[in-house]
Amino acid sequence: MADSMVKFMSGEYVPLEMHKVRVVQKLTLLPVEERLKSIEGAGFNTFLLQNKDVFLDMLTDSGTNAMSDQQIASMMVADDAYAGSASFTRLQEAITEVFNKKYFLPVHQGRAAEHIISQVYVRKDNVVPMNFHFTTTKAHIELAGGKVNELFTDEALKIKSSVPFKGNLDIAKLKNLIAKIGKEKIPYIRMEAGTNLIGGQPFSVQNMRDVRKVAQEYGIPIVLDVSLIGENIYFVKLREEEFKNKSVKEIMYALCDLADIIYFSSRKVSCTRGGGIAVNSYDHYLAMRDMVPLFEGFLTYGGMSVREIEAMAVGLRETLDLDVISHSPQFIKFLVDRLDGKGVPVVTPAGGLGCHLDAKGFLPHVSQLEYPAGALASALFIISGIRGMERGTISMDRDAQGNDVPSELELLRLALPRRVFTLSQIKFVEDRVTWLYQNRQIIGGLKFVEEPKVLRFFVGRLAPTTDWTKKLVAKFKQDFGDNL
Ligand code: F0G
């Protein structure tokens, strides 16, 4: 089935799960006063919440996806060995089959791949052009002395849009940049599939071809982050005419063949842990190879357990199944379209990864220097037990002068881990976000009370600038009584 959304008698299209649930985990929904205490204890940072206090964990899709029965089964036949494990050979075969790349370097997760790629290729004052940055990517490029240059199209940052490929890289901007700084300063061009920070938005195969053309002209390699490739492929199949009748594998090859180096976080793409780098050129392989035993572990495990390696091999093959990769974007579309229909500001068109609430539109009365997306994340947790992730100004570190850098997009991401939630849970999200929108005037800002210098969003602690959280609890109780 090309698209497993089913038409109901009402005319509405509803996502239909092409799997059944065979293992479950009990959830609890704490009373609202306890949720307030819990977020206070977490310094108004959803990363610091205890998962036992969370009802729906929509912080991320990283490492929180449901594995398939085949993945769990494969873990039982893992071959324990420090070197030369048969599990690793099976993973290598899967890498070649799925990504059409010959050589593979295993690492413990996606950012470890970024660490190796940046340390090997980025020199001081180099510039890495890309469609959009990801937090860990930028941090690693800067650690190596380089800079990130984002060449997104004008449409990428528009909240309301019907452009199918907001993740495209602007080719004219790429040519201008090369003309301005010279190809010698550019170690590689990075493309991120399912562009995370602009709302899980895809790029087209045509755009990747155009990037390739320019890259080839100047002899610049392309690095492709395939952590979110499954969803990007789903959108290519749905939205790019040429690929309507192509298989997932054909689209995967079309994209990966245009890149010199691919890397991924398996926490996303294969519903396991771990990560890796894959290339066809032996020179690239050799250039990076020795970093693996130094930082990750021996070449045949790279910091992963053999059980994770087995499950990764199966999980990667499963990304070639349209039913597997379409599930989460369809749930996201269901939620995004319903919220959009009620006037709640959300990033459109619906992308992969999650539903992204536009905190600037939601809370225009909260200045970006009081972190509207962070405030919205805390407010939503208080009134629902739903844990989202701030993707706005808190996620930007301060500049060299110590000033806050207002983020172009100020988003609260509600991630949809793959195959984890039911449709009634998603309807609960819709209901509580809508209530919050109707009561948005109550929500105020946040300020830092403990602020790390790098990647401050992970463990920084904040506090409300006024007593708005108490007012929010009072209004919630007035409307819902003791019901949840
Ligand atoms: N690239 C992309 C596109 C990502 O989304 C992530 C992680 C990474 C690289 C780094 O991988 O976490 O395995 O080290 N994204 C997570 C998220 C953290 O919540 O979006 P990692």
Q: Which residue has 């005419």 as its token pair?
A: 241
Asked whether the predicted pLDDT for residue 2 surpasses 60, the reply is: no
Per annotation, catalytic residue among 111, 166, 268, 307: 268
Q: Is 109 left (phi over 0), alpha (psi -120 to 50) or beta?
A: beta
Residues whose CB is less than 8 angstroms from the CB of residue 463 and which lie 6 or more positions away in sequence, other chains included = 43, 44, 446, 447, 449
- Testing ligand 1's pocket by substitution, the residue of 131, 196, 412 carrying the most ligand atoms inside 8 A of its CB is 196
Expressed in angstroms and rounded, the spacing between residue 389 Cα and the centre of ligand 1 is 13
Summarised one tens digit per residue, pLDDT across range 37-55 is 999 999 999 999 999 999 9
Per annotation, catalytic residue among 35, 111, 360, 391: 391
- Structural domains in the chain? 5-61+322-480 (3.90.1150.10), 69-318 (3.40.640.10)
pLDDT at 483: 66
268 annotated active-site: yes
Distance CA 248, CA 257 (A): 14
CA 144 to chain centre: 23
Helices 322-341, 423-438: crossing angle, 10 deg rounding: 30
Per annotation, catalytic residue among 57, 170, 210, 225: 225
- Testing ligand 1's pocket by substitution, the residue of 47, 227, 270, 413 carrying the most ligand atoms inside 8 A of its CB is 227
User: Is residue 1 very low, low, confident or very high in pLDDT (cuts 50, 70, 90)?
Assistant: very low
Furthest CA-CA distance within the chain: 66
pTM: 0.95
Expressed in angstroms and rounded, the spacing between residue 228 Cα and the centre of ligand 1 is 9
Per annotation, catalytic residue among 135, 136, 434, 465: 135
Average pLDDT of 321-345? 97
Distance CA 191, CA 137 (A): 11
Q: Which residue has 């407010």 as its token pair?
A: 379
- Taking residue 183's Cβ as centre, other Cβ atoms within 10 Å add up to 14
Cβ atoms of 407 and 368 within 8 Å: the answer is yes
Residues whose CB is less than 8 angstroms from the CB of residue 90 and which lie 6 or more positions away in sequence, other chains included = 309, 310, 313
Summarised one tens digit per residue, pLDDT across range 169-228 is 999 999 999 999 999 999 999 999 999 999 999 999 999 999 999 999 999 999 999 999
Expressed in angstroms and rounded, the spacing between residue 138 Cα and the centre of ligand 1 is 12
User: Is residue 259 very low, low, confident or very high in pLDDT (cuts 50, 70, 90)?
Assistant: very high
Residue whose Cα lies nearest atom 15 of ligand 1: it is: 62
Q: What percentage of the chain reaches a pLDDT higher than 70?
A: 99
Distance CA 94, CA 447 (A): 47
289 annotated active-site: no
Summarised one tens digit per residue, pLDDT across range 355-391 is 999 999 999 999 999 999 999 999 999 999 999 999 9
Summarised one tens digit per residue, pLDDT across range 131-172 is 999 999 999 999 999 999 999 999 999 999 999 999 999 999
- Is residue 181 helix, strand or coil? helix
| Strands 446-450, 461-464: pairing kind | antiparallel
Give the torsion through C-alpha atoms of 236, 241, 246, 249, to 10 deg: -20
Tell which residue, 30, 34, 35, 27, has the closest CA to residue 381: 35
Expressed in angstroms and rounded, the spacing between residue 278 Cα and the centre of ligand 1 is 17
Q: Which residue has 């600037």 as its token pair?
A: 360
Mean of per-residue pLDDT scores for the chain: 96
Residue whose Cα lies nearest atom 21 of ligand 1: it is: 110
Burial grade of 380 (CB within 10 A; 0-12, 13-18, 19 or more): buried
Summarised one tens digit per residue, pLDDT across range 383-422 is 999 999 999 999 998 999 999 999 999 999 999 999 999 9
pLDDT at 5: 87
Average pLDDT of 95-110? 98
pLDDT at 3: 60
Instruction: Kindly provide the residue ranges of all beta strands, DSSP E only, lying in 273-408, ordered along the sequence.
Output: 275-279, 354-358, 386-387, 389-391
Element (H, E) at 136: helix 135-143
Distance CA 413, CA 420 (A): 16
Identify the residues whose C-beta falls under 6 Å from ligand 1.
Answer: 60, 62, 109-111, 134, 136, 192, 196, 225, 227-228, 265, 267, 275
Residues in the chain: 484
